[in-house]
């Protein structure tokens, strides 16, 4: 009975996705691609269990670097794809996609508030959406708080921009060139990836040694 119910639910979900996609096509064909990309990303996030909050928590509390490495790989792949899109726009005389702002106090404050929110909520924005999709209604207040905070941040951004974002942003491809900047970023991230492997190996080797000493 449970399998039959799940099959009906899967069929209903597939039909809803198809119908909504057809509706978007008649509104604007490009929206269909965004709809499909969103569904694909949601499926990947759900199956992979990616959560930025858990990645940092596991890193410092349990010395488990596996999720952190998954995040690093995701950043490398995203970096390569976004850089190609930006380079294509640059060399064809188009506006480079993305928003660029200078680093400053606003970055530190934003990072602190975001990190504090993740710890209090028990998950990042992506992780909270996953939990809601899995049926954890306790994360619904988290989603509401994210929407309220994002709205307030967008409304208040002009104040931060006027008082703190006063310098021109440094776009690394303008300084070092596209190839050098992309390669440098990938090399740094790859180095961090292998450093986590070394640290994890040392930690678990020492932990296993302590267990052996206690047994002996």
The number of beta carbons lying within 10 Å of the beta carbon of residue 42 is 14
Per-residue confidence at 1, pLDDT binned at 50, 70, 90? very low
29: alpha, beta or left, given left = phi > 0 and alpha = psi -120 to 50?
alpha
Q: What is the rounded distance in angstroms from the CA atom of residue 41 to the CA atom of residue 24?
A: 18
Token pair 């106090």 is found at 105
DSSP annotation string for 20-53: HHHHHHHH-HHHHHHHHHHHHHHHHHHHHT--HH
pLDDT tens readout for residues 100-146: 778 888 889 988 988 888 888 888 888 888 888 888 888 999 999 98
Residue 108 corresponds to which tokens in the numbers above?
A: 């530190």
Q: Specify whether the CB–CB gap between 55 and 67 falls below 8 A.
A: yes
The number of beta carbons lying within 10 Å of the beta carbon of residue 29 is 9
Q: What is the rounded distance in angstroms from the CA atom of residue 39 to the CA atom of residue 154?
A: 26
**Closest CA relative to residue 107, chosen from 52, 161, 51:** 161
Q: Specify whether the CB–CB gap between 158 and 147 falls below 8 A.
A: no
Per-residue confidence at 208, pLDDT binned at 50, 70, 90? low
Residue 64 corresponds to which tokens in the numbers above?
A: 């488990």
* Mean confidence (pLDDT) of the chain: 85
pLDDT tens readout for residues 150-166: 899 889 888 988 888 87
């Amino acid at each position: 009975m449970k399998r039959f119910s799940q099959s009906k639910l899967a069929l209903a979900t597939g039909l809803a996705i198809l119908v909504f996609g057809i509706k978007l096509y008649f509104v604007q064909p490009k929206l269909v691609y965004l709809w499909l990309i969103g569904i694909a990303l949601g499926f990947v996030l759900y199956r992979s269990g990616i959560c930025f909050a858990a990645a940092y928590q596991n890193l410092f509390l349990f010395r488990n670097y596996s999720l952190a490495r998954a995040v690093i790989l995701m950043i490398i792949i995203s970096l390569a794809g976004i850089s190609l899109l930006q380079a294509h726009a640059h060399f064809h005389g188009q506006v480079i996609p993305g928003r660029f702002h200078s680093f400053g106090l606003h970055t530190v404050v934003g990072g602190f508030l975001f990190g504090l929110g993740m710890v209090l909520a028990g998950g990042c924005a992506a992780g909270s959406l996953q939990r809601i999709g899995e049926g954890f209604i306790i994360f619904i207040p988290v989603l509401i708080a994210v929407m309220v905070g994002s709205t307030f941040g967008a409304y208040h951004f002009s104040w931060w921009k006027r008082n703190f974002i006063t310098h021109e942003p440094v776009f690394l491809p303008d300084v070092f060139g596209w190839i050098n900047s992309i390669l440098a970023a990938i090399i740094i991230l790859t180095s961090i990836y292998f450093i986590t492997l070394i640290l994890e190996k040392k930690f678990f080797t020492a932990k296993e040694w302590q267990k052996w000493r206690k047994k002996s």
